[in-house]
Amino acid sequence: MKVLVTGGIGYIGSHTCIAMIEAGIEPIILDNLSNSKLAVLDRIETLTSIRPVFYQGDVRDQDKLDLIFSEHEISSVIHFAGLKSVGESVAKPLEYFDNNVNGSLVLARSMRKAGVKSIVFSSSATVYGDPKVVPISENSPTGATTNPYGRSKYIVEQCFSDLFAAEPLWSITLLRYFNPVGAHPSGLIGEDPQGMPNNLMPFIAQVAVGRRDFLAVFGDDYDTVDGTGVRDYIHVMDVAAGHIAALKIVGEKAGLHIYNLGTGQGRSVLEMLDAFSLACGKTLPYQILPRRAGDIAQCWASTEKAQQELDWHATRTLNEMAADTWNWQSKNPQGYSDC
Ligand SMILES: NC(=O)c1ccc[n+]([C@@H]2O[C@H](COP(=O)([O-])OP(=O)(O)OC[C@H]3O[C@@H](n4cnc5c(N)ncnc54)[C@H](O)[C@@H]3O)[C@@H](O)[C@H]2O)c1
């Protein structure tokens, strides 16, 4: 089984490609390298002894997509390619809508032309906005997003839902990730943000390795266990396994399938910091700063639907997430720039 993986050498894509190869699924990767390095392909080869077919190109380039579909008998697509920084999306909304929304439409058109009607899309818990109730189930209201990035994910979900309503032979799976963190246990692949990290875990990792002076904690007066923000952190290897389950179980069934990928457990910023300090064996400096506009107090997933229908649940602990991130970061202090 061949699966086109857009954005396949990015953070989640690279871990998922390894899981695919291990599951006997052949990834065909398309990536424009806007947030990734070719060295990832070497690392995938080292870990699996297989070098995936790679196309350098943009998901908005329909000719390129048409070529890929004509050169390979592809049965499904996993669509990771997109821009993902909330802060940057506020400054560059047009770029975000063009890449994330237009890219998804071009891809869907090319798929239809090629007769490929199975897609797994990287959505996000941001589509739920500021939830009134936790845990958040797949039926919770969506759309009250707080930034252009979140809106771009919500809009793509709407486009795909309308496509399914019009053409019910499609199999469309929307995976709403909570907060993927961690790295492959080998330490060979991991998250390598360019510039200032947007997310907590890579930020802590860069403090631990000496690239940043301290962790900025935005707000300690939320109504949470210790006043800091609470999120549902999930190991990227569990996220990768969720894609394999989705491909195998619903990837060939016509339908609009929607699942949360989370652990079902909320963890605060300070709990994460403690887990990381334990992993790296040092106390890490942090400073409390004012809350950031648009940040929500807490959010975690209801995981029942994925458990029941995909027979999938996250198995890795917070300590494993911290230990694997530290293993990756300490072996690659400058990320893939060390290669
Ligand atoms: N990491 C998270 O916390 C998180 C949470 C929820 C959803 N997501 C979504 O999951 C997907 C993957 O996230 P990630 O963390 O692996 O991000 P990433 O930036 O590491 O990976 C995205 C990959 O897509 C590529 N890319 C971007 N635009 C492209 C385009 N137009 N054409 C071809 N390739 C393109 C990049 O070079 C990169 O390799 C994204 O769509 C993201 O929005 C991520």
**Residue 108 belongs to a domain with what CATH number?**
3.40.50.720
Q: Which domain holds residue 150?
A: 2-182+233-263
With respect to residue 318, please indicate whether it lies within any of the assigned structural domains. Answer: no
Looking at residue 196, its pLDDT comes to 81
pLDDT, tens digit, for every residue of 189-244? Answer: 999 988 888 889 999 999 999 999 999 999 999 999 999 999 999 999 999 999 99
Which ligand 1 atom sits nearest the alpha carbon of residue 9?
A: 39
With respect to residue 60, please indicate whether it lies within any of the assigned structural domains. Answer: yes
Q: How confident is the model at residue 186 (pLDDT cuts 50, 70, 90)?
A: very high
Percent pLDDT > 70 in the chain is 99
Looking at residue 338, its pLDDT comes to 64
pLDDT at 168 over 80: yes
Phi, psi of 106 (to 5 degrees): -60, -45
Cβ of 177 below 6 Å from ligand 1:
yes
With respect to residue 303, please indicate whether it lies within any of the assigned structural domains. Answer: no
With respect to residue 210, please indicate whether it lies within any of the assigned structural domains. Answer: no
Can you tell me the distance from the alpha carbon of 76 to that of 1, in angstroms, rounded to the nearest whole number? 9
Which ligand 1 atom sits nearest the alpha carbon of residue 180?
A: 3
Cβ of 13 below 6 Å from ligand 1:
yes
Please give the distance, rounded to the nearest whole angstrom, from the Cα atom of residue 7 to the centre of ligand 1.
6
User: pTM of whole model > 0.75?
Assistant: yes
Percent pLDDT > 90 in the chain is 92
Average pLDDT over residues 148-168: 98
Looking at residue 42, its pLDDT comes to 98
Average pLDDT over residues 55-65: 98
**What domain count does the chain have?**
1
Nearest CA to ligand 1 atom 10: 122
With respect to residue 15, please indicate whether it lies within any of the assigned structural domains. Answer: yes
Report the largest interatomic distance among the alpha carbons of the chain, rounded to a whole angstrom.
56
Which among 55, 128, 149, 259 is annotated as catalytic? 149
Looking at residue 274, its pLDDT comes to 97
With respect to residue 328, please indicate whether it lies within any of the assigned structural domains. Answer: no
Helices (DSSP H) in the chain: which residue ranges?
A: 11-22, 39-48, 62-71, 86-91, 93-96, 103-114, 148-166, 200-208, 236-249, 269-280, 304-305, 318-331
Q: How confident is the model at residue 339 (pLDDT cuts 50, 70, 90)?
A: low
Please give the distance, rounded to the nearest whole angstrom, from the Cα atom of residue 33 to the centre of ligand 1.
10
Ligand 1 pocket test, candidate residues 36, 88, 101, most atoms within 8 A of CB: 36
Can you tell me the distance from the alpha carbon of 70 to that of 148, in angstroms, rounded to the nearest whole number? 34
Render the burial of 53-71: b for 16+ CB within 10 Å, e for the rest. Answer: ebbebbbbbeebbeebbee
Q: How far is CA 9 from the centre of its chain?
A: 12
Q: How confident is the model at residue 88 (pLDDT cuts 50, 70, 90)?
A: very high
Residues near 329 by beta carbon (within 8 Å), at least 6 away in sequence: 183, 190, 202, 205, 206, 208, 209
Cβ of 144 below 6 Å from ligand 1:
no
Please give the distance, rounded to the nearest whole angstrom, from the Cα atom of residue 296 to the centre of ligand 1.
22
Can you tell me the distance from the alpha carbon of 102 to that of 148, in angstroms, rounded to the nearest whole number? 14
Average pLDDT over residues 288-311: 95
Whether 55 is a known active-site residue: answer no
Half-sphere exposure of residue 273, counting CA atoms within 13 Å on the CB side? 19
246-166-307 Cα angle (round to 5): 20
Residue scoring higher pLDDT (68 or 211) = 68
pLDDT at 49 over 90: yes
With respect to residue 72, please indicate whether it lies within any of the assigned structural domains. Answer: yes
Instruction: Return mean pLDDT, the chain.
Output: 96
Cβ of 82 below 6 Å from ligand 1:
yes
pLDDT, tens digit, for every residue of 258-282? Answer: 999 999 999 999 999 999 999 999 9
Cβ of 189 below 6 Å from ligand 1:
no
With respect to residue 254, please indicate whether it lies within any of the assigned structural domains. Answer: yes
Nearest CA to ligand 1 atom 25: 7
- DSSP summary character for residue 38: T
